[in-house]
Structure 1
Amino acid sequence: MKYPAVKNFIQGQFVDAENSDILNVISPVDGTHLSTVPMSTAASLDNAVSSAKAAFKFWGKTPIKERVQVFFKFKALLEKNKLELAKLVSEENGKTPDEGLAEIEKSIELTEFACSLPQLITGELLEVSKGIECRTEHVPLGVVASIVPFNFPSMVPCWTIPNAIALGNCMIIKPSEKVPLSIGRIAELLKEAGLPDGVLNVVHGNSAVVDAICDHPDIEAVSFVGSTKVAKIVYRRATQNYKRCLALGGAKNHLLVLPDAIPDMTAQNITASMSGCAGQRCMAASAMVAVGEVDHIIDKLCAEAKKMVAGQNLGAVINSESRERIENYIDEAEKMGAKILVDGRNTIVSGKEKGTYIGATIIDYVTPDMSVAKEEIFGPVISIMRTKTLDEAIAIENNNPYGNAASVFTQNGAAARYVIEHASAGMVGINVGVPVPREPFSFGGWNESRFGVGDITGKSSIEFWTKLKKSTTKWNPQAGVNWMS
């Protein structure tokens, strides 16, 4: 075992889970046994919540200008340790080293945004009547929870930890049991940055811990990132217990390619979108809609995809079950009449035979009724559907139940604007394969890609992690009495 056994992090200390089973943590890169992770029980969650409740008594009253000083220091520690953190992400998730580093760079940017929060929540003050003032201020909720997935072991926790805690909350975070190592280092670095004990607590486990989080009476809000199936369950259970909940689900992102698109740029962008992070991201290109005659672009797309070499510039998928599921999608599409232009099945990397790899895969002549056209594959696979008109392409995009992202590749401004106005997606790109907004713009989709109100990052997150207090003040007795007072 390469690393020590993973433990929960409660009251500023790594502690054993109570009476729990353990799972092995295996690297998808080469099958190395990295560690073990505990499957905690509700008792561990209770301890974490008690720790967070005690910490909130002083952390929630600490001025925000003082709270964010922790995150200035945390940002510096992320920068200082980014190569180590990137290596850890790569080992436990399967990303390439460059992708691991990019994830830490994004974590740094997210933390930097949290440092700006004092300038964004200054509240409002107005004399609403003679001698009477009204004031608004954002106050923290209390103990909150964040349930995060395997595909971004550092970045997605940094979607929630910096903002929620800088805004005065104390947090319970439940990482994916598949990638439990990065969050331990994040907790250590936050403590080194000066975060008081109990403000952040980490509880490892499986669905039993998720259920306990949704049910716990002292947790005020829950954020979730994962599949749509589980997002619905978490949202329903949390809100039935009268909690705030923002649950981000899956995606089926459509890239519309018009004949006037710049061939090289389009092919490079689509390849990067569908194969980056081995396709294991909710912003990956999963479906391409070819509008009219674009075979010249598809040819270049195939050439670019063949440059993606598993184990070099193409990372692993998370485990063998995921690899088998993805290959089954490809098999089914082929049996239904689709044409495999680039085939990534049965990929084995020399020297990493126990790794779980799939090569970049392009499937042409897909019809909207096929599973590869409708369902989230979460692998380096893109399905091409063909239409004659832009309206037909938009109809395909609109008919999918998800709504995370859509992009169009064209040099026609009117066509681009038409897609922006008609795509049923929360994030739209023009000649951009991965239209992720950068801070301070927020991240969030529509339809079955998001359950709840608001977005999880950027300015929009302030409304989720705080509640608005309104106060009306009268100090001047000479102002008299009117309907206002």
Structure 2
Amino acid sequence: MSSELKYSNVKNYIDGAWVNSDTNRWLDVYSPLDGKIISQVALSSYEDLDAAVISAKNALKTWSKVPIKERVQIFFKYKTLLEANIAELSALVHEENGKTIDEARAEIEKSIELTEFACSLPQLVQGEVMEVSRGVECRTERVPVGVVASIVPFNFPSMVPNWTIPNALALGNTMIIKPSEVVPLSVTKIAELLKEAGLPKGVFNIVNGDREIVEAICDHPGIDAVSFVGSTKVAKLVYQRSTSHLKRCLALGGAKNHLLVLPDANPGMTASNVFASMSGCAGQRCMAASAMVAVGETDHIIKQLCEEAQKAVVGQHIGAVISKQAKERIERYITEAESQGASILVDGRSPVVKGKEEGYYVGPTIIDYATPDMAVTREEIFGPVLAIIRSKSLEDALKIENDNPYGNAASVFTQSGGAARYVAEHANAGMIGVNIGVPVPREPFSFGGWNESRFGVGDITGKSSIEFWTKLKKTTVKWNPEAGVNWMS
């Protein structure tokens, strides 16, 4: 463990204190920007997790009894601290994830919006009271689930943790979060800000690690609920393993989002939106467009799309991908599609970023005349690559979209209200866009897909998340004996 690294070794955060892991296993943390090691993170043991669960259980006794209007006061302060520290938080995301500084800042701005929504929860979770019979009253109230765990991915080191932290904690739960082991620095800063905001010790805990600690979270009897964001393969495993231990679980997986482009679409708006969708965050987001279905005569739009891609400067407008292995995997998809007869309109393989020659970069790549059976059109690439499939009709385009096993997002670009409505009604996805390349709902609307993109019930953010992070308690009361006895009492 070197003392010369830019960032100190990443510790666990348990019971309000930074503690060393019980393990001797360490992982180097690389910056995708230049391939240099910037820190090291411990790969924790079951004993580390157990200590965090004990801390969370102890904190739950008092935190769950604090009125929600008092709990959210901490998140008003946390929101202010996010705003005050946006430059440092953005720099951390930029350095450990590789996305551009503007994209990193946008991620923190979204974290601020998520926290702002959590501050509104007292107005959304009021119970109901009704006199259901003479002298008999029924009431409902939302109560915390208990100790919850949040397993988060590498692609949004700050935003995705803030999908779960503010809502789950404001609703009275205590949490253990497991950051991606390749981007552990942002969650460390989040813990510091939560502590500064006044969050009591034990309410929020960090346990770093890899697959071993994920499995331990799924198995641990002291954890009541698990949320997960990552690949579909792992989401399925987490969901199956957690629910087999009778936990509630919401596991979000991968995606293969289709953009349907019709001939009447506005060329400039369509080209810029499609390009932003396929290349933003270097394509490393589950809402990125990676398949475009060109319906009819759309060559004029495709030409303008290629011009947008050719203007982008890698390293300036397009950030790095997460690792050398990811870069190699993405470029294999491109090469394979080319060998199968697809046409490479814009080739982003092996770009050179001056001064960062060892960084992990892939330029925007546009592949035309791909077919639905190619890997580049079927599998999640997680890179700045767009495969174009040609279609003669809107019905054929929707069949291609519907045959996709995932179900996060689908968008249509058109000036026809009828066509837009038809796609919105028939696309097999949980989030639909019309002339929008990344149809992510804004708060209070919730984020969540369908099919192979989500396992479990409900969504992870917005008003729909209340159902996941709480249990509904029902109380029936009768005080007056003169009311007599009926079938209700």
Count of matched residue pairs? 485
Shift of 1:19: 2.1
Whether 1:17 and 2:21 are equivalent positions in the alignment is yes
Q: Which amino acid aligns with 2:321?
A: V
| Secondary structure at the counterpart of residue 25 of structure 1 | strand
Q: Which amino acid aligns with 1:453?
A: V
**Contact preservation (8 Å) 2:23, 2:42:** no
The answer for the alignment partner of 1:476 in structure 2 is: 480
**Contact preservation (8 Å) 1:8, 1:17:** yes
**Contact preservation (8 Å) 2:391, 2:397:** yes
The answer for the alignment partner of 2:455 in structure 1 is: 451
Provide, for residues 339-382 of structure 1, a one-character-per-residue CA deviation record: whole Å limited to 9, x for no partner.
00000001110100111000000000000000001000000000
Provide, for residues 168-207 of structure 1, a one-character-per-residue CA deviation record: whole Å limited to 9, x for no partner.
0000000000100000000000000000000000000000
Whether 1:289 and 2:281 are equivalent positions in the alignment is no
The answer for the alignment partner of 2:65 in structure 1 is: 61
**Contact preservation (8 Å) 1:22, 1:38:** yes
The answer for the alignment partner of 1:379 in structure 2 is: 383
Matches within 5 A, 1:170-319: 170-319=174-323
Among candidates 130, 134, 140, match of residue 138 of structure 2: 134
Q: Distance in 2 between matches of 1:49 and 1:146?
A: 13
Provide, for residues 48-90 of structure 1, a one-character-per-residue CA deviation record: whole Å limited to 9, x for no partner.
0000000001001111111111100000000000011000000
Shift of 1:20: 3.0
**Contact preservation (8 Å) 1:255, 1:285:** yes
The answer for the alignment partner of 2:9 in structure 1 is: 5
| Secondary structure at the counterpart of residue 469 of structure 1 | strand
Gaps (5+ residues) in structure 1?
Answer: none
| Secondary structure at the counterpart of residue 365 of structure 1 | strand
**Contact preservation (8 Å) 1:222, 1:246:** yes
The answer for the alignment partner of 1:158 in structure 2 is: 162
Provide, for residues 457-483 of structure 1, a one-character-per-residue CA deviation record: whole Å limited to 9, x for no partner.
000100001100000001122222111
| Secondary structure at the counterpart of residue 370 of structure 2 | coil
Q: Distance in 2 between matches of 1:124 and 1:269?
A: 44
Shift of 1:391: 0.4
Among candidates 78, 82, 87, match of residue 83 of structure 1: 87
| Secondary structure at the counterpart of residue 168 of structure 2 | helix
Whether 1:395 and 2:399 are equivalent positions in the alignment is yes
**Contact preservation (8 Å) 2:29, 2:37:** yes
The answer for the alignment partner of 2:327 in structure 1 is: 323
Q: Distance in 1 between matches of 2:381 and 2:480?
A: 65
The answer for the alignment partner of 2:411 in structure 1 is: 407
Matches within 5 A, 1:324-339: 324-339=328-343
Q: Which amino acid aligns with 2:65?
A: K
Provide, for residues 305-326 of structure 1, a one-character-per-residue CA deviation record: whole Å limited to 9, x for no partner.
1111111011000010000000
Provide, for residues 27-48 of structure 1, a one-character-per-residue CA deviation record: whole Å limited to 9, x for no partner.
0011232100000011100000
**Contact preservation (8 Å) 1:174, 1:204:** yes
Whether 1:52 and 2:52 are equivalent positions in the alignment is no
Shift of 1:23: 0.7
Q: Which amino acid aligns with 2:177?
A: I
The answer for the alignment partner of 1:120 in structure 2 is: 124
Q: Distance in 1 between matches of 2:311 and 2:93?
A: 24
Provide, for residues 249-273 of structure 1, a one-character-per-residue CA deviation record: whole Å limited to 9, x for no partner.
0000000000000000000000000
| Secondary structure at the counterpart of residue 415 of structure 1 | helix
Q: Which amino acid aligns with 1:290?
A: A
Whether 1:422 and 2:418 are equivalent positions in the alignment is no
Q: Distance in 1 between matches of 2:163 and 2:24?
A: 29
**Contact preservation (8 Å) 1:150, 1:176:** yes
Q: Distance in 1 between matches of 2:488 and 2:37?
A: 68
**Contact preservation (8 Å) 1:3, 1:34:** yes
RMSD over equivalenced CA pairs, Å: 0.5
Q: Distance in 1 between matches of 2:257 and 2:305?
A: 17
Whether 1:169 and 2:204 are equivalent positions in the alignment is no
**Contact preservation (8 Å) 1:40, 1:205:** yes
Q: Distance in 2 between matches of 1:49 and 1:36?
A: 24
**Contact preservation (8 Å) 1:222, 1:238:** yes
**Contact preservation (8 Å) 1:20, 1:41:** no
**Contact preservation (8 Å) 2:337, 2:370:** yes
Among candidates 95, 106, 111, match of residue 107 of structure 1: 111
| Secondary structure at the counterpart of residue 311 of structure 2 | coil
Q: Distance in 1 between matches of 2:198 and 2:312?
A: 42
Percent of matched pairs sharing the same residue:
72
The answer for the alignment partner of 2:152 in structure 1 is: 148
Q: Distance in 2 between matches of 1:376 and 1:348?
A: 25
Q: Distance in 1 between matches of 2:132 and 2:44?
A: 53
Q: Distance in 2 between matches of 1:165 and 1:112?
A: 13
| Secondary structure at the counterpart of residue 144 of structure 1 | strand
TM-score normalised by the chain length of structure 1: 1.00
Q: Which amino acid aligns with 2:334?
A: I
Q: Distance in 1 between matches of 2:267 and 2:127?
A: 49
